[in-house]
C-alpha cells in the first residue's frame, strides 16, 4: 500500500514537472558537449533569442487553452514592425520620406503598432466567434492578407534609419539585462497573472474546457474569444517592435514561421490542443527548451537541417504525451 502511494506520488511529480526535468537534462547534456554553453553571456543570449518567440507564445497559449489556433502571429509581427519603423525614423530621414509628418514622441508609434496588432486579433476573434469559421481557416486567411499588407505598406523594402531611442528597445540594457529579456519576463508575469488570477483567465479555461457549458454558465463566449485573440495580436505586435528595434529595421519579410515556433513552445510546455489546459510557466520552459536546443546544437556544429528534424520530433513527442495524458483523464 505504501509502495503504491509512493508510486502514485512520483508519477504525479513526473506528470506535473516532467517538462522541467527535460529542460534540466538538456542543459546538462549541452554543457557536457560544449564547455562554453553555461557561460553567463551564452545563457543571456539564449533568453534574448527566445524573447521574440516567447512573447508570441504567451498569446498563443491563451488561444490554444481556449481550444483555438492562431497562424497569423508572424504576419502581425511583420506589419507592426514596418508600421512602427516608418514612424520612428531619424528626423533627417523622416523629413525626406514624409515631409508633412511631424516627429512623433516614441510612445505614439509604439501604441499605434500595438493597436494594429490588437485590431488584427480582434478581427480574428470576430471571424471565429461571429461566423463560426474554424480558427485554423480564419487565421490562415488573415496570415496571408496581413503579410500582403505589410509588403504593400513597405513597398516590399526594409524601413531603416530608426531612432536610437527606438533601437534601445531591442539593443539596450537596464542594470546589465538586455531590454528584450526584461520585456519577455515582465509580459510573462502579466500573462501569468491574467491567466491564473483574473476572471478573464478563468473564462479562457472555461471556454477551452467546454464552450457550451461556459455559455450556459453565463460566460459571454463571443466577447472573450475576441479578447483572447486581441491579446494574442497585441503580443505579436510587441514582438515585432522588439525584433525591428533589435535589427534596426522594419522588414515586411520578418516573422515567417514564427507562429509555428510559438505554437511549438506552448505545446512542448504542456498547453493542450484539446483545450482547457496550459500555463505560462510551461510555455516559458517550452520556449527555453527550443532556445537551448537551437543554441546547443549550433555550438556543437550540428547541421541546421538536422536541427529542424530534431525539433519536429520533439513537437510530435510532446503532442503524443499530451494525448496520452488526456486519454487517461477520460
The CATH number of 51-329, from 1.10.1760, 1.10.3470, 3.30.930, 1.25.40, is: 1.10.3470
pLDDT at position 5: 57
Residue 94 is predicted with a pLDDT of 54
- pTM comes to 0.91
- What pLDDT digit, counting tens, does each position of 71-80 carry? 999 999 999 9
C-beta pairs of 126-134 under 8 Å, 24+ apart in sequence:
126/226, 128/68, 128/225, 128/229, 129/221, 129/222, 129/223, 129/225, 129/226, 130/222
Closest CA to 66 of 135, 126, 19, 117: 135
Give the confidence band of 164 by pLDDT, cuts at 50, 70, 90: very high
Quote the DSSP letter at residue 84. Answer: H
Residues for the chain: how many in total?
A: 330
pLDDT of residue 229: 98
pLDDT band at 301 (very low <50, low <70, confident <90, very high): confident
From the CB of residue 112, how many other CB atoms can be counted at a distance below 10 Å? 17
Per the listing, cell 480558427 goes with 135
What pLDDT digit, counting tens, does each position of 192-241 carry?
999 999 999 999 999 999 999 999 999 999 999 999 999 999 999 999 99
Q: How far apart are the first and last CA of the chain?
A: 25
Average the pLDDT over 275-303 and give the result: 91
From CA 195, how far away is CA 185, in angstroms rounded?
15
- C-alpha cell belonging to residue 286: 517550452
pLDDT band for position 320 (cuts 50, 70, 90):
confident
Give the closest residue to 23 by CA, choosing from 320, 267, 293.
293
Mean of the pLDDT values across residues 159-182? 92
The mean predicted confidence, pLDDT, of the chain is: 88
**What pLDDT does 330 receive?**
47
What is the Cα 10 distance to its own chain's centre? 32
Cα-atom radius of gyration of the chain, to the nearest Å? 21
Question: How confident is the model at residue 85, as a pLDDT?
Answer: 94
Instruction: Assess whether pLDDT exceeds 80 at residue 271.
Output: yes
Helices (H), the chain: 2-33, 40-65, 73-87, 91-97, 107-131, 135-153, 164-171, 179-197, 199-209, 211-216, 221-247, 258-268, 280-299, 304-329
Kindly list the domain boundaries of the chain, sorted by start residue.
51-329
Query: Which band of pLDDT confidence, cut at 50, 70 and 90, is reported for residue 98?
Result: low
Region 133-148 average pLDDT? 95
**Looking at the predicted structure, is the pLDDT value of residue 140 above 80?**
yes
Pick 23 or 324 by higher pLDDT.
Answer: 23
Measure the CA–CA gap between 44 and 48, rounded to whole angstroms. Answer: 6
The pLDDT assigned to 13 comes to: 59
For position 279, what pLDDT does the model report? 93
Mean pLDDT of 6-20: 62
What 3-state DSSP class applies to 257? coil
The whole-number pLDDT of residue 210 equals 92
The predicted model gives 278-282 an average pLDDT of 93
Q: Give residue 113's Cα distance to chain centre.
A: 16
User: Which pLDDT score is estimated for 324?
Assistant: 65
The more confident residue out of 319 and 165 is 165
CA distance 330 to 328: 5
* Average pLDDT for 138-156: 95
- In the prediction, which pLDDT does 315 show? 76
Amino acid at each position: 500500500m505504501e509502495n503504491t502511494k509512493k508510486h502514485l506520488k512520483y508519477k504525479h511529480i513526473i506528470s506535473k514537472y516532467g517538462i522541467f526535468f527535460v529542460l534540466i537534462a538538456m542543459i546538462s547534456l549541452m554543457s557536457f558537449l560544449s564547455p562554453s554553453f553555461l557561460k553567463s553571456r551564452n545563457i543571456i543570449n539564449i533568453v534574448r533569442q527566445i524573447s521574440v518567440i516567447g512573447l508570441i507564445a504567451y498569446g498563443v497559449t491563451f488561444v490554444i487553452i481556449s481550444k483555438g489556433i492562431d497562424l497569423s502571429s508572424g504576419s502581425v509581427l511583420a506589419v507592426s514592425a514596418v508600421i512602427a519603423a516608418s514612424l520612428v525614423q531619424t528626423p533627417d530621414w523622416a523629413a525626406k520620406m514624409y515631409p508633412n509628418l511631424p516627429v512623433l514622441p516614441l510612445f505614439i508609434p509604439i501604441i499605434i503598432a500595438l493597436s494594429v496588432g490588437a485590431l488584427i486579433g480582434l478581427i480574428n476573434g470576430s471571424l471565429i466567434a461571429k461566423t463560426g469559421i474554424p480558427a485554423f481557416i480564419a487565421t490562415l486567411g488573415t496570415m496571408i492578407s496581413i503579410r500582403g499588407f505589410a509588403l504593400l505598406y513597405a513597398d516590399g523594402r526594409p524601413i531603416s534609419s530608426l531612432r536610437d531611442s527606438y533601437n534601445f528597445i531591442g539593443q539596450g540594457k537596464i542594470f546589465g539585462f538586455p531590454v528584450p529579456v526584461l520585456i519577455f519576463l515582465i509580459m510573462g508575469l502579466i500573462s501569468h497573472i491574467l491567466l491564473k488570477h483574473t476572471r478573464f483567465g478563468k473564462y479562457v479555461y472555461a471556454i477551452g474546457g467546454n464552450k457550451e457549458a461556459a455559455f450556459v454558465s453565463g460566460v459571454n463566449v463571443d466577447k472573450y474569444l475576441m479578447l483572447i485573440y486581441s491579446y494574442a495580436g497585441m503580443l505579436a505586435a510587441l514582438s515585432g517592435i522588439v525584433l525591428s528595434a533589435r535589427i534596426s529595421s522594419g522588414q515586411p519579410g520578418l516573422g515567417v514561421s514564427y507562429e509555428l515556433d510559438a505554437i511549438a513552445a506552448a505545446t512542448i510546455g504542456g498547453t493542450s490542443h484539446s483545450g482547457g489546459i496550459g500555463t505560462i510557466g510551461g510555455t516559458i520552459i517550452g520556449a527555453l527548451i527550443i532556445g537551448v536546443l537551437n543554441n546547443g546544437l549550433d555550438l556543437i556544429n550540428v547541421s541546421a537541417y538536422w536541427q529542424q528534424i530534431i525539433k519536429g520530433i520533439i513537437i510530435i513527442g510532446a503532442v503524443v504525451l499530451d494525448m496520452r495524458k488526456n486519454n487517461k483523464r477520460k
